[in-house]
Amino acid sequence: MSFKHYGSRKSGSIGWLLQRITGIFLIFAMVGHYILMHYTPETGHSYEQSVARFSSVYWKMFYLTFISLGLWHGLNGVWSILRDFKMKPWLAITLYGIIVISGFAFWVLGVSTALKF
């Protein structure tokens, strides 16, 4: 008798690929963040300087992309770690629900903040 798997077939290939693509983006974003905020502090840490950055459409696009991809990468990573553990279906659904809802809430918060300026 063959070994039985739990759950039906659900390809993780797209998630696996996106995790890598977003990871590469985040590496560059992290380097950019380091240069901007730590290596060249004269570029601005003050409220006014941050607002000035947010008023640029390019910076706004960057922050929106950063919020979306960073959240997706982080929360998909958490879900991937959780899936390593054998869980009862109700627990898996609950945790998945928490991740999706909190991810959406943080995304709305981040996007609304970025669009305010």
Partner 1 sequence: MKVTLRIFRFNPETDSKPYYKDYEIEADPKDRVIDVLHYIKNEIDGTLTFRRSCLHGICGSDGMRINGKNMLACSILLQDLGYSDANKTYKKPLVIEPLPGMPIIKDLVTDFTDFWKKYETVKPYLITKSQPPERERLQSPEDAELIMEASKCILCACCTTSCPSTWSNEDYLGPAALLKAYRFIFDSRDEATDERLDIIDTPNGIWRCHTIFHCVQACPKEINITWHISQLKKKLVEREI
Which residues form the interface with partner 1 (CB under 8 A)? Answer: 1-3, 5-7, 9-17, 80, 83-86
CB of 11 to partner 1, least distance (A): 5
CB of 83 to partner 1, least distance (A): 6
Nearer CB in complex with partner 1: 38/86: 86
CB of 81 to partner 1, least distance (A): 8
Do the Cβ atoms of 64 and 56 come closer than 8 Å?
A: no
Nearer CB in complex with partner 1: 44/74: 74
Provide the terminal-to-terminal Cα distance of the chain, rounded to the nearest Å: 62
Nearer CB in complex with partner 1: 12/97: 12
Do the Cβ atoms of 48 and 54 come closer than 8 Å?
A: no
Query: Which whole-number Å values give the CA distances from 17 to 23, 68, 76, 78, 93, in the listed order?
Result: 10, 16, 12, 16, 23
